[in-house]
Structure 1
Amino acid sequence: MAINFVKCAESILATKVLEPDSLSALRAAAQNGLSLENMSILFTLDHTCEDQTAGAWPEFFNQSFVRLFSKAAFGSTTDSVKLCGLLASELATHQPPSLSTLKMLVLLSVGEGRATPNFRDLTHQTFMDFHSDKRILGAEDVTRIDQLIGWSRTGDIGRKDANFLFRLNDILDKPKAHPSWQALFVTSIGSHVLNDPNSPGLVDFSEAEWLIKNIEGDGSLDVNEKALLDYLDVHSPEGQNLSDLVASVSELLKVQEDSYLKTIRTLIRALETKDRYTAQHSSRVSYFSYKLGKHIGLSEKMQRKLRYGAIMHDLGKIGVPDNILNKPSGLEADEYQIIKRHPVDTVKILKPLADQHDFISIAMSHHERWDGKGYPDGLKGTETPLLSRIVAIADTWDAMVGDRIYRKAIPRDKALGILEREQNMGQWDPELLRSFIDMIRAGDEKLAKDIDAINQGEEPDEN
């Protein structure tokens, strides 16, 4: 009698333990053939059960999906898009992705799915979702990423692959990164830059502009980015001075960026004049966000992105009527809907900085909630980017301990008590909030001194 796959899986889920005998039974049931409907069951098992199979489960999990996405399944573009959509939906449901899932995605991307852009994009995003919280890259991770982009490097590694490597490099905790990462990062992107079929071995102005936007977007280079520029200098054709080209493009971009940032600062000052509460609020949110990023060990690059992104997070309020923005009593439903538009309006203002993706996401998502009941998109859990979740906590804290037009500031200890009572009630990332509370309790005197400096319009002491 054939073993029923669904019933076998349900019996495992009842105990939440995956034992060798259970896996053997599941493997036997799978011999009868797996359907796409079984995808959800496999994900749930991978995400829920304690694995006691000495490593046999990941192999079964991965190979099951490879069989599901066999060559026959890619008979048309429509089929591939549909299958990728189903997989994307499961990945969104089961967060954070497991290591088994990451390995499975690489197998799909470098195997039957390698000709399908959807798979590559999906795999890139899943890696970034996983590492945006973990921030540590291990030897197995480097191997999987190398497998993912390695097939591209035999011809021309795509711009999307190169952008993925830059983004992943940004979110990694550099001191703990596996040493193989730098070699992978440098040689892969170097290959992309120097193996352009239209100008092999050359770096033209547009390519240099793209490089600078990725490596100097926050005004500094990390060790991996410096190593990349050294690699390009060494491997560029004799007579081509890449350093001079990069420097000239960098200077041009800096002038353009400085000009627009001056406009942004003017808008911030105008908003502070328009709304008494906003005066210094953005600076304090920027400060608390930066301090929390530093406290949890974000890279210096990500700390700077937090600082600059948070300072701009409420710019869209400049379009809210004064009588709503400064109303001394509760807002009516229609007035609240107008206030809720400010994240989208902020993004419109920041569009000329579109290459600074993290600034945009902070502005757009700092009112999302951990339970999915926030706005404007109703993102849930880690669907909201890490930097946005940090700014959401800093924004709430400053709103609590600062004077508002309709109430006085809440005392610090009372505010901490409120956060502690409500840390698991769905508004904030519980782990991040716990770190924030610990940071506030540990830094009383220094934090108070820095906030006084900000309120006086001065820069806080960085030491």
Structure 2
Amino acid sequence: MKRKMLLLVEDNLVLRGALKELLSMEGFSVFAASNGLEALSIMEVVLPDLIISDISMPKMNGEEFFKMVRKRSEWIAIPFIFLTAHGDDEAILMGRSLGAEDYLVKPINQDALITTVNARLKRAQELQIVQLQEAYESSLMMLANAIESRDRYTRGHVERVRDYSLMIGEQFGLEKAQLQNLRFGAILHDIGKIYVEESILRKETSLNEQDWEVIRNHPLVGVDMLKDIPYLVSTIPVVRSHHERWDGSGYPDGLKGEEIPLLARIVAVADVFDAITSDRVYKKARPLKAAYQEILDQASILFDPEVVKIFEMLWKKGDIQKIVEMLETIPKKGENSL
């Protein structure tokens, strides 16, 4: 495992040496500087995982050093811990106002030092994971919307299906990992449509049997696209089965009841509700209340009755309508959602 790199900035030679030795014994790689200017020179060569800095120092003090660090985009996320003298409330307030992650009061307690450093490194890692997930989701949204953009109508379907699905999933009591799979599955549910000809997606008349064969195959095309991407494999049950129906009348496998994966049963309700309430090339949008009633009428026929029960509860609370209102700036028109 790669050792974490710390930058220690302290003008007191004895204290700097003692802290460096202590942190090195705990398994950290420690680079030391006596003031902010020295520290900035080190950072041009080494990117530390965390910075520990005194406040009162010659040439460039801790406050000035902190501000210089935060000016650089590649340094802005590095956790920063201030060292301050006992009872120096003004320095503590200054550190907090600047946005420093933490502070330690001299004389430094060994346990407090190690605990604080480890806690801040862990928190920084958690934030990096969140940022990666957000970038990852943003990329998936771009891909999904790129598929929908092949239609001459504007989009919004992917966002609404995602939000309806997550709201239902949360009420279902799904665990965090399941909600993550639901989120990405909802985003990518129609990814297989990338291979459906635009003439079919835009067709204003009834589809013929050949067209239907292509449409019914898009979940399997989606599965084929995702099966060799390790971090997307968990979305496959949704992508494959979101067109399956409770009574076995769906596609591509004719699954029925609880044979259909739960996450796919959730996305099925969200997908159909949004399709009913959105303009399509072959039909006009129906009012929200009519779509709501349609979902209720199809409980135990097309849809999982438990999923519909939660959908009904969310409707009565006004939560489904809130999603529509929140996304109403995105015109509700999309591709042929079959």
Match of 1:430 in 2: 305
Q: Distance in 2 between matches of 1:298 and 1:263?
A: 24
Match of 1:454 in 2: 327
Q: Distance in 1 between matches of 2:173 and 2:272?
A: 21
Amino acid at match of 2:245: R
**Alignment deviations for residues 389-423 of structure 1 (CA, whole Å, 9 cap, x no partner):** 10011111111112121111111222222233332
Using the TM superposition, give the Cα deviation of residue 304 of structure 1 relative to its aligned residue in structure 2, in angstroms.
Answer: 2.9
- Aligned residue runs from structure 1 range 21-420, under 5 A: 264-276=140-152, 279-420=155-296
Match of 2:76 in 1: none
Using the TM superposition, give the Cα deviation of residue 452 of structure 1 relative to its aligned residue in structure 2, in angstroms.
Answer: 3.4
Are the equivalent residues in 2 in contact too, given 1:340–1:375 (CA < 8 A)?
yes
What is the SS of the residue equivalent to 2:189?
coil
What is the SS of the residue equivalent to 2:252?
coil
Amino acid at match of 1:435: I
What is the SS of the residue equivalent to 2:316?
helix
Q: Distance in 2 between matches of 1:262 and 1:413?
A: 31
**Bigger share in strand:** 2
What is the SS of the residue equivalent to 1:428?
coil
What is the SS of the residue equivalent to 1:340?
helix
**Alignment deviations for residues 221-269 of structure 1 (CA, whole Å, 9 cap, x no partner):** xxxxxxxxxxxxxxxxxxxx9xx9xx99x989x97x8887665444223
Are the equivalent residues in 2 in contact too, given 1:280–1:455 (CA < 8 A)?
no
**Alignment deviations for residues 21-50 of structure 1 (CA, whole Å, 9 cap, x no partner):** xxxxxxxxxxxxxxxxxxxxxxxxxxxxxx
Amino acid at match of 1:437: E
- TM-score (normalizing by structure 1): 0.41
Q: Distance in 2 between matches of 1:456 and 1:348?
A: 34
CA RMSD of aligned residues (A): 3.3
Q: Distance in 2 between matches of 1:451 and 1:258?
A: 22
Using the TM superposition, give the Cα deviation of residue 327 of structure 1 relative to its aligned residue in structure 2, in angstroms.
Answer: 0.9
Amino acid at match of 1:452: E
What is the SS of the residue equivalent to 1:405?
coil
Q: Distance in 2 between matches of 1:267 and 1:419?
A: 29
Amino acid at match of 2:317: A
Q: Distance in 1 between matches of 2:263 and 2:182?
A: 6
Using the TM superposition, give the Cα deviation of residue 439 of structure 1 relative to its aligned residue in structure 2, in angstroms.
Answer: 1.5
Where do 5+ consecutive residues of structure 2 fail to align? 1-117, 332-338
- TM-score (normalizing by structure 2): 0.55
Q: Distance in 1 between matches of 2:136 and 2:294?
A: 39
Distance 1:355 1:404, change over 3 A: same
Distance 1:403 1:271, change over 3 A: same
Identity %: 38
Are the equivalent residues in 1 in contact too, given 2:226–2:233 (CA < 8 A)?
no
Question: Which protein has greater RCO, CA pairs closer than 8 Å, 6+ apart?
Answer: 2
1:441 aligns with 2:316: yes
Amino acid at match of 2:204: P
Using the TM superposition, give the Cα deviation of residue 277 of structure 1 relative to its aligned residue in structure 2, in angstroms.
Answer: 5.5
Using the TM superposition, give the Cα deviation of residue 300 of structure 1 relative to its aligned residue in structure 2, in angstroms.
Answer: 3.2
Aligned length: 212
Using the TM superposition, give the Cα deviation of residue 339 of structure 1 relative to its aligned residue in structure 2, in angstroms.
Answer: 1.0
**Alignment deviations for residues 300-356 of structure 1 (CA, whole Å, 9 cap, x no partner):** 332232122201111111211111001112111110111111111222232343344
Q: Distance in 1 between matches of 2:317 and 2:299?
A: 18
Structure with greater Cα Rg: 2
Are the equivalent residues in 1 in contact too, given 2:223–2:240 (CA < 8 A)?
yes
Q: Distance in 2 between matches of 1:326 and 1:287?
A: 25
Please list every run of at least 4 consecutive aligned residues from structure 1 whose deviation after the TM superposition is greater than 4 angstroms. 257-263
What is the SS of the residue equivalent to 2:203?
coil
